[in-house]
Amino acid sequence: MKKRVLITGGAGFIGSHLADELIEKGYEVRALDNLSEQVHGPDAVRPEYLNPGVELIVGDIRDKNAVRRALEGVDAVFHFAAMVGVGQSMYQIEDYTDVNNVGTAVLLEALIENPVQKLIVASSMSIYGEGLYKTVDGSIVQEGERSLAELKQQQWDMQDEKGNPYQPQPTPETKKPNLSSVYALSKYDQERLCLITGKAYNMPVTALRFFNVYGTRQALSNPYTGVLAIFASRLLNGNAPLIFEDGLQKRDFVHVKDVARACRLALETPEADGEVFNVGSGNRYTIREIADKLAHVMGKDINAEVTGKYRVGDIRHCFSDLSKAKAILGYEPQVPFEEGLTELAKWLEGQIAVDSVSRATEELASRGLTV
């Protein structure tokens, strides 16, 4: 008998790729998605890219009746429904808290009435704040944070009181959370709500902390989505990607197909129950490198604009330690970054993107959220 899986937010970027992965492996897939205008545009129609084998229920994660209907006959749930974006979360506080926190609570109360064999929740690397660091004497820095005074002086890198720079390290799941944005707080809340409720009701739960996911189907007209999609939107419109700080901040970019496989492995691995895993690539690139590489594969002779400004909620360096996911899930990233970028560039050739980045940047600046 085939297992039926529900993906909340299943018509979106990562959810739709996960649906492909699951259907290919013989699962039946249902998606609950509100087809948000910011992600899907004003028409609110079923995305063309969504696998025809997916049963789509259009509804909101905060709607108890829609959630109950979506859970009927379901064996497992992937909870991806969320508003996404660090900058926007700092002024749409009620919206982010309502969708991400309250929406998760609605789902969990429905799951208490209709238990499933497993729940996997999408968390985020943003909960770490700054990644793990070492000092010059080898001490580990768990909760590093840059002061506003340092940022105003364009002192971007973390350092000790003597001015010695901290060395960024791969960040493991054991690093203490350091929540630097409303978005990060809401993702940690989603993670903890699911794990706590799962333990209380004997329902297996796994939380996956996604790093910077990229690939086809990203919402190119959403100025608060992943950095590669934002850069792509700018380049498609002949505009320079805008980079905060000096562009030398490092991130871990993981292909969406690797993420989808990690999700399936979490579903199928009993040892993952009650655990939290990083899902990244283990690589690290500066944001400036990313902009240059993307412009190159897109055939655009446009240099990024480094603004020298700081955005509230941003962190300097964070990239994944995958030891735990490799050991327990058997997860190994398989898509090389250059290959993933080339695939993305080919997909972008047929895409139209509304470049709303300047408007979003002005919105942040008007609220004092850039320095």
**Catalytic residue flag (residue 214):** no
Which is it for strands 76-79 and 167-169: parallel, antiparallel or unpaired?
Answer: unpaired
Structure tokens at 133: 């660091």
Residue 359 buriedness (CB in 10 A; 0-12 / 13-18 / 19+): exposed
Question: Among residues 27, 96, 183, 285, which one is catalytic?
Answer: 183
Nearest to 277 by CA among 226, 331, 314: 331
| Helix or strand holding residue 38 (H, E) | helix 37-40
- Alpha-carbon distance 60 to 114, whole Å? 18
DSSP for 116-172 reads: -SEEEEEEEGGGGSS-EEE-TTS-EESS----HHHHHTT--S-B-TTSPBPEEEPBP
- Residue numbers annotated as active site: 183
